[in-house]
Amino acid sequence: MNTAGQADPAPPDFSVIVPAYNEEAELPRSLAALRLAMERAARQGLSGELIVVDNNSADRTADVARAAGARVVFEPVNQISRARNAGARAAAGQYLVFTDADTVVSPELLAAALGNLASGRAAGGGAAMDFDSYPRRGTRTAIRLWNRLARWRGLAAGAFVYCLREGFEAVGGFSEKVYAGEEIFFSRSLRLWGRRRGLAFEVIATHPAVTSSRKLRWHSWPTIILYSLGLAIFPAGLLSRRLCAFWYRRPEGGSGS
């Protein structure tokens, strides 16, 4: 009961969490898509809330999020894992969905993720990925290879991760020791947690999450390969923000993280 003697509203069934750093340009498209997906879920009897984590932005990210009807949470430390965890702490849903500010989530994808969680068969999972455009040769091949690896190894790309709140809390959320790749560590931990309880880690192949190809436009293939191989060979580099600059630095005039 609240102070007025009325019953407190029921908590939402699910929470969608969007970390955002200087994303005023990308948020309108992604939040509009999420609203449409959440309206579809509501018609299926599932209530949800939309949370945008302002990760110490210098632009109008928070204002744009509020205008779109999202609840805004502030995280002062500019680190993607901290932003995701801050959103989860503020969330009230039993199902958690994490997506990026430059990613479009379809109603079908959200419905598939929530259906997997509600079925009692899945601890969580991810989704196949697609780009909104293909500005460089080899990009289609690269994304196909990632999608095969993700399904084979049970890995979620950071652009779309979903899980039971119970599982999220049990594994300690996303590691705040690393500045990139936190979704890989989280996937492994959640997969093991679920396996012990007979729950699957489901990567949804039928409805991909569509994310921005802007980093492919900003950086050359040699730069992308150098960062990827360097961190694969020297994973301790994930502990350094400077060595993970690819995920935090943008060219002059580039929007988003």
DSSP string, 77-103: S--HHHHHHHHHHH---SEEEEE-TTE
Low-confidence winner among 20-29, 83-92, 132-141 (lowest mean pLDDT):
132-141
pLDDT at site 257: 41
Residue 241, pLDDT > 60, answer: yes
Q: Is residue 216's pLDDT more than 80? A: no
pLDDT at residue 30, as a whole number: 97
Which CATH number do you get for residue 74? 3.90.550.10
238 token code pair:
């994930």
Is the confidence at residue 256, as pLDDT, over 50? no
* Residue 252, in any domain of the structure: no
Domain that holds residue 55: 14-214
* Proportion of the chain in helix, strand, coil states, percent, rounded to 5: 40, 20, 40
Residue 71 is assigned to a structural domain of this protein: yes
Supply the pTM of this predicted model.
0.89
When divided into structural domains, the chain yields a total of 1
- Does residue 247 have a pLDDT over 80? no
Question: 241 lies in a domain?
Answer: no
Residue 111 domain flag = yes
What pLDDT, in 10s, does the model give residues 104-119?
999 999 999 999 999 9
Instruction: Pick the range with the lowest mean pLDDT from 37-46, 49-58, 188-197, 238-247.
Output: 238-247
**Once rounded to an integer, what is the mean pLDDT over residues 114-133?**
95
Beta-carbon contacts of 163 under 8 Å, excluding residues fewer than 6 positions away, are 95, 96, 117, 123, 124, 125, 190
Number of CB atoms found within 10 A of residue 1's CB: 7
233 in a structural domain: no
Which one-letter amino acid corresponds to residue 173? G
**Residue 230, pLDDT score:** 60
Give domain status of residue 20, yes or no.
Answer: yes
**Which amino acid belongs to residue 36?**
L
Give yes or no for residue 226 having a pLDDT over 70.
Answer: no
Number of neighbours of residue 109 by Cβ within 10 angstroms = 24
Q: How much is the CA Rg of the chain, to the nearest whole Å? A: 18
Considering the chain, what percentage of its residues have pLDDT values greater than 70? 87
In a domain, 187, yes or no: yes
Residue 256 lies in a domain: no
